[in-house]
Structure 1
Amino acid sequence: MAVATMTVTVPAMAQNVAPPGATACSGCHGPGISDAVVPPLHGRPPGEIVGAMQDFRTGQRPATVMDRIAKGFTDEETRAIASWLSQQP
């Protein structure tokens, strides 16, 4: 008796779908933007991004708007965004 198995593959694009809120970062932190005041985030280590967001949220890091933006994300959302950004070229 033959048994058929089925594997489900997810297209590469679907695996790399940005979590909610992540694409909004590219307005100021887009790839290729090398301004020292607003650094690019693509390819950065997730821990670095999460740490910065926590510092903005608590007021440990000076900000113009990032303190308010950071307060709009939960820790889980921040980690998901940071992970996604770190994987972007």
Structure 2
Amino acid sequence: MMRTPTPSALTRRPWAPALALALCAWAGQAAAVDANSLRTRALAATCAQCHGTDGKAVEGEAMVRLAGLPEDYILSQLMAFRNGQRQATIMHQITKGYSQEQLETLAKYFGSKK
């Protein structure tokens, strides 16, 4: 059975409250980073059916490999699909379902892949 420390035990370790606070802050930041990373990967997974996992399309297939393309190029193409400047069979409709922030996130994600 675990014992709750007495106040005197805490006063003998004046650094304990600061350590506890630092650990809580670190855990909160880690959880936020993990949540953001998971959100980004889930968003990118919606592209996997056509463009492959992590944007790594199969060599020799008709779909464009997104992984490693420059972020600004990816975003400009997504925006061109969205506003009708670039013709497509389905991408013009797909891009309209995403917010500007989501398209920027996708461009950054695929641009960072190799």
Please give the range of the TM-score, normalised by the shorter of the 2 chains. 0.7 to 0.9
| Alignment partner of 1:41 is 2:62 | no
Higher relative contact order (CA 8 A, sep 6+): 1
Match of 2:45 in 1: 23
RMSD between superposed Cα atoms in Å: 2.6
- TM-score between the two structures when normalised by the length of structure 1: 0.75
Task: Give the secondary-structure state (helix, strand or coil) at the position aligned to 1:76.
Answer: helix
Q: What is the distance in 1 between the residues matched to 2:101 and 2:73?
A: 15
1:72 aligns with 2:97: yes
Unmatched runs of 5 consecutive residues or more in structure 1: none
- Judging by fraction of residues, say which structure has more helix: 2
Q: Which residue of 1 aligns with 2:6?
A: none
CA contact (8 A) 1:32 1:40 kept: yes
Question: Alpha-carbon deviations, 1:30-74, whole Å to 9, x = none?
Answer: 114234631111222221111111100111111000000011111
The structure with the larger Rg is 2
2:83 maps to what in 1? 58
Question: Counterparts of 2:97 and 2:91 in 1: how far apart (Å)?
Answer: 10
What TM-score do you get using the length of structure 2 for normalisation?
0.61
**Structure 2, unaligned runs of 5 or more:** 1-12
